[in-house]
């Protein structure tokens, strides 16, 4: 089996490089697909953390890429890719452009990653605007892909149509399905409900996507009728975080009363979701949650490796000659 090459932004996330590297080591134990990682960040910090861990069996599996730039909260997010080219997040994506790695994963700022991915790797053919997509569990014990979940706060009709087609292709590849039901998130299922943007998108998708099934309401999102649900990034981000808080709420209400029910709730645990891909990019860039624990990072790494193996986000065969 061919070894997958990943660039990992170990400067990202809320809990520091140790959590990122610990998660990476956990992923090496859990992932059935062989991979090698390029660790992007401060060399001294990375070497110190690796020296503190049981990394004697990982020789040859890591490369350290020292990054001298850091990104502050005051930076203009869309321009960081140019001004801070040697920051960990941007360097990860540059390694893809250089052909050194197959994919990159970061728990960093969405806007920084979006800008770097878009301007360094470029937009894939047919994509009007890239979108961030995330899987959620459903009552039918199959995931639903929700997009956009935060990359584009304001969307026009053509953006929603593009998201639908991108999500449709991704689900079929990643879940290896022949078809994938696509729906638009709306305040009602009737054709006349919703904004003009949503209604117009529905009319276009009737012609462009054979698997389009119409509108779904928020209370049907987790019902499992649709494999892909499309909305603007503002709505999607709020909805995603609401679903994440549901897991915390139920665990706190149950306490220690029912371990059986709590075990079933694992499907709603955001730490089990993996990472969210940017669809519509000429490359494979995935974003992990900023508040990821080492376990969440491990799942994010495994998701990225699987996405590369299945060419779910970006196919090398689609790369134009000369790139």
The 3-class SS string of the chain reads: CCCEEEEEECCCCCCCHHHHHHHHHHHHHHCCCCEEEEEEECHHHHHHHHHHCCCCCCCCCEEEEECCECCCCCCCHHHHHHHCCCEHHHHHHHHHHCCCCCEEEECCCHHHHHHHHHHHHCECCCCCCCEEEEEECCCCCCCEEEECCCCCCCCCHHHHHHHHHHHHHHHHHHCCCCCCCEEEECCCCCCCCCCHHHHHHHHHHHHHCCCEEEEECHHHHHHCCCCEEECCHHHHHHHHHHHHHHHHHHHHHHCCCCHHHHHHHHHHCHHHCCCEEEECECCCEEECCCCCCHHHHHHHHHHHHHHHHCCCCCCHHHCCCCC
Residue (of 90, 82, 114) closest to 281 by Cα position: 114
Residue (of 123, 209, 206, 122) closest to 172 by Cα position: 209
**Intervals of the chain under pLDDT 50:** 57, 318-323
Which pLDDT score, from 0 to 100, does residue 200 have?
94
Which pLDDT score, from 0 to 100, does residue 219 have?
87
Q: What is the pTM of this model?
A: 0.86
For residue range 51-108, list pLDDT tens digits in order.
Answer: 887 655 455 678 899 988 777 666 666 667 677 788 888 999 999 999 999 999 998 8
Which pLDDT score, from 0 to 100, does residue 320 have?
38
Which pLDDT score, from 0 to 100, does residue 33 have?
87
Which pLDDT score, from 0 to 100, does residue 103 have?
93
Residue (of 159, 180, 157) closest to 169 by Cα position: 180
Measure Cα distances from 320 to 94, 196, 311 in Å: 18, 36, 16
Which pLDDT score, from 0 to 100, does residue 259 have?
57
Which pLDDT score, from 0 to 100, does residue 167 have?
94
**Domains in the chain, CATH or no CATH each:** 1-122+281-323 (3.40.718.10), 127-272 (3.40.718.10)
Rg of the chain, C-alpha, whole Å? 20
């Amino acid at each position: 089996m061919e070894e997958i090459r990943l660039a990992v932004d170990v400067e990202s996330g809320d809990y520091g490089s140790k959590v990122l590297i610990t998660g990476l080591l956990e992923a090496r134990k859990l992932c059935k697909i062989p991979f090698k990682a390029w660790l992007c960040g401060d060399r001294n910090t990375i070497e110190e953390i690796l020296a503190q861990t049981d990394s004697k069996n990982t020789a040859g599996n890591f490369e350290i890429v020292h990054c001298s730039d850091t990104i502050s909260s005051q930076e203009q997010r869309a321009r960081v890719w140019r001004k801070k080219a040697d920051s960990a997040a941007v360097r990860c994506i540059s390694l893809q452009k250089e052909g050194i790695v197959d994919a990159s994963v970061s728990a960093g700022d969405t806007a920084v990653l979006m800008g770097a991915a878009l301007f360094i790797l470029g937009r894939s053919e047919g994509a009007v605007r890239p979108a961030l997509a995330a899987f959620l569990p459903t009552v039918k014990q199959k995931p639903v892909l929700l997009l956009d979940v935060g990359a584009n706060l304001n969307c026009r009709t053509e953006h929603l149509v593009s998201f639908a087609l991108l999500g449709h292709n991704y689900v079929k590849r990643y879940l290896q399905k022949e078809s994938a039901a696509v729906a638009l998130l709306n305040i009602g299922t009737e054709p006349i409900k919703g904004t003009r943007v949503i209604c117009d998108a529905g009319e276009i998708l009737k012609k462009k996507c054979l698997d389009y099934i119409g509108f779904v309401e928020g209370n049907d999102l987790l019902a499992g009728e649709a494999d892909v649900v499309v909305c603007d990034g503002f709505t999607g981000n709020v909805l995603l975080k609401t679903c994440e808080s549901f897991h915390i709420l139920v665990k706190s209400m149950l306490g220690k009363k029912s371990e059986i029910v709590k075990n079933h709730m694992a499907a709603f645990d955001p730490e089990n979701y993996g990472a969210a891909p940017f669809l519509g990019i000429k490359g494979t860039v995935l974003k992990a949650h900023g508040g990821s624990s080492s376990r969440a990072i491990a799942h994010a790494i495994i998701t990225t490796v699987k996405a590369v193996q299945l060419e779910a986000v970006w196919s090398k065969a689609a790369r134009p000659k000369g790139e």
